[in-house]
Copies of this chain bind each other. A is one copy, B any other.
Amino acid sequence: MSSPTFSREASEIRISVQRLARRLRNERADDTMSDSQLGVLAWLSHTGTFTLGELAAKERVSAPSMNRTVNCLEEAGFVRRTADDEDRRKVNITLTDAGHEIVAETARRRDEWFDAALDELTAEERATLREAAAIMRKVSDR
C-alpha cells in the first residue's frame, strides 16, 4: 500500500518521463519513419527474426495493428515476410539490406536534438540520467 506522498512521487516521475518522451518525438530530425515502425526495425535489428504475433507482443499492440505497421515496412522495402517451414500458419519477418541501413541512419539523425540537449548538462547530470535509464528499463520489463 502506498502513501499519498509516494503516489505523488510516482506522478511527478511519470509526468517527467511522458513529457520528455513527447518532446523527443516532436524534436526528432527524421520525419520519414514513425515510432512504431522504427520500434519494429529496432527489435528485428537486435534479434534477427520475429513472427507477427511476437512483434505485436513485444510492442504491446494488437495483431491487426502490427500487421498494418509491417505492411508499411514491407511496402517500403525494409522488411520481408517468409512463411515458417515448421508451422505454416506463422510468418517470419526479417530486415532487408535496406532495413539494416535505415536503422543506423535513422537512430543517428533522431538523436541530434537530444544529443545537443545532453551537451548542456553537467557530467554528473548525464551520469544520473544513465543510471535512471537502466532503472527505467527494469521497470518497463517488469
Q: Is the CB of A6 within 8 A of B115?
A: yes
| Contacts of A2-59 to chain B: CB distance below 8 A | 2, 6-7, 9-26, 35, 42
Bound-state CA distance A19–B137 (Å) is 8
- Give chain B nearest CB distance to A109 CB in angstroms: 10
Q: Is the CB of B17 within 8 A of A119?
A: no
Chain A at the B interface: mostly helix, strand, loop or mixed? Answer: helix
Q: Is the CB of B23 within 8 A of A118?
A: no
Further 14 A-B residue pairs, CB within 8 A, beyond A16-B136, A17-B24: A2-B116, A6-B115, A10-B114, A10-B115, A11-B110, A13-B130, A14-B111, A18-B35, A20-B136, A20-B137, A23-B60, A125-B135, A128-B135, A129-B132
User: A residues bordering B, Cβ < 8 Å?
Assistant: 2, 6-7, 9-26, 35, 42, 60, 107-108, 110-111, 114-121, 125-126, 128-140, 142
Which are the 10 A-B pairs with shortest beta-carbon distances? Answer: A132-B132, A21-B21, A16-B133, A10-B111, A20-B136, A16-B136, A13-B133, A10-B115, A10-B114, A23-B140
